A = this chain, B = another copy of it.
C-alpha cells in the first residue's frame, strides 16, 4: 500500500480521529507532509509482518504541547535530524520508520521521514491512539526501551538521552523539549522487527486512512456520517465497538499549557431540552468523559469529539465555546486493554479514580 498526496486529507482526518483529541493538528500535519511529498513522492506503507525479525525500526515523532505545534510550524528540512543522528549513534541504518502514536501530526511525521529518507513506514504505532507521555506506549508495556533517543530542533541542535528507564527518558526529553521552545523532533524506541511484532498496535495507518475516507464519502453522499463511521468501525478487527455518547454544545472550556502539556476540561450541554451535561477531562488527549458525574468512556478507549454536522474530529486545542459536537466512544485493541497495558496507561496513571470499563459495557 502507498500513501500519496491525494490521500493526505483523508489520512490526516482519520489520524486525528484516532488521536482522541491529541496527536497534533491534522491541518498542520497535512501541510508539512504535502510539502515533502511534492519533492520526494509517495510513501510505501508495509505490514509489520513484512519487517524481518532482525531488521532495525526507528519510530519518529514530534514532541511538544499541541498548542505549540499549531503556533510553531516545523520546517520539513529539520524533521529528519533526530532520526539520522540516532542511526549514526547506533551505527546502523533503519529498515523502516513508524509512528509512536496515532494523531493528526504524529501519524504523518513518519511519512515525512519516510519520504525524505526513502524508507517505508510500518502500518502500526505504539499507542493505537495518542497519549501525552513518551513512556505511555505499548512498546513500554512489552519491554522495549525508549532510549537511546534523540531530540532535535530547528537550529539543528541535537540532544541524545540515554536513560535508565522509559519514565526517565520522558522526563529528560520533556525538559529538553521545553527548553528548545516547546517543540522538537524525536527519534526513539529503536527496536528489532521481532520487538515490533510483539509490541506494536497493528494496522493503525491503514485504519486512519479508511476512517478519513469513510467520513468524506458519507459527506459526499449526504449520508449520515456517524452511522457510516459506526458501520465501518464495526468491520475492523479491533476498533469494533463505537457509539455516540453525547450530543450537545460546548458551554465551558478550561485549558492551560503547563510544563509542556495542554491540560484542561470541557463541558458540553445536552441538545434539545436534554438537561444533562458531559464533562471531558484531557491532558493533550481526552481521558475521561462523564455525564452528570457518571463515566461514559474512559482511557484507553477513544473519546472522539466530532463536529455535529461533518464529523470532523476536533483536537483538544481546537475545542471552542459554543461548538456543536457529537462525542463518540470507541473500543481499542486487546493489546491495549491487558492488565500490563492498563498499568501503564489505565485511568490510575492519569490520576482518575474510576477503574477502566470497556465502552461496550457502559451502554
Chain A 43-87 per-residue mask, 1 if CB under 8 angstroms from chain B, else 0: 000000000000000000000000000000000000000000100
Answer whether residue A141 sits at the interface, using C-beta atoms and an 8 A cutoff. no
Which one of A20-28, A31-39, A167-175, A323-331 contacts B? A167-175
Instruction: State how many residues of chain A have any CB contact under 8 Å with chain B.
Output: 19
* Distance between Cα atoms of A175 and B180 in the complex (Å): 10
B-facing residues in A163-214 (Cβ within 8 Å): 163-164, 168, 171-172, 175-176, 178-180
* Distance between Cα atoms of A97 and B164 in the complex (Å): 27
Which one of A151-159, A234-242, A250-258 contacts B? A151-159
- Contact between A157 and B176, CB atoms less than 8 A apart: no
B-facing residues in A311-352 (Cβ within 8 Å): none
A171 / chain B contacts, CB cutoff of 8 Å: 179
Answer whether residue A161 sits at the interface, using C-beta atoms and an 8 A cutoff. yes
Residue among B85, B156, B159, B164 making CB contact with A172, cutoff 8 Å: B159
Answer whether residue A162 sits at the interface, using C-beta atoms and an 8 A cutoff. yes
A168 / chain B contacts, CB cutoff of 8 Å: 155, 157
A158 / chain B contacts, CB cutoff of 8 Å: 162
Residue among B156, B162, B163, B179 making CB contact with A164, cutoff 8 Å: B156
Whole-angstrom distance between the Cβ of A159 and the nearest chain B Cβ: 5
- Contact between B179 and A172, CB atoms less than 8 A apart: yes
A161 / chain B contacts, CB cutoff of 8 Å: 157, 159-160
Question: Known: A172-B179, A178-B175, A179-B175. Contact between A159 and B162, CB under 8 A?
Answer: yes
B-facing residues in A278-294 (Cβ within 8 Å): none
A178 / chain B contacts, CB cutoff of 8 Å: 175
A159 / chain B contacts, CB cutoff of 8 Å: 159-162, 172, 176
* Distance between Cα atoms of A164 and B152 in the complex (Å): 11
**A171: nearest residue on chain B (CB-CB)?**
B179
A156 / chain B contacts, CB cutoff of 8 Å: 164
* Distance between Cα atoms of A178 and B171 in the complex (Å): 11
- Contact between A162 and B160, CB atoms less than 8 A apart: yes
A-to-B contact residues, CB < 8 Å: 85, 155-164, 168, 171-172, 175-176, 178-180
Could you jot down 6 A-B contacts, CB within 8 Å?
A: A157-B161, A159-B160, A160-B161, A172-B176, A175-B176, A175-B179
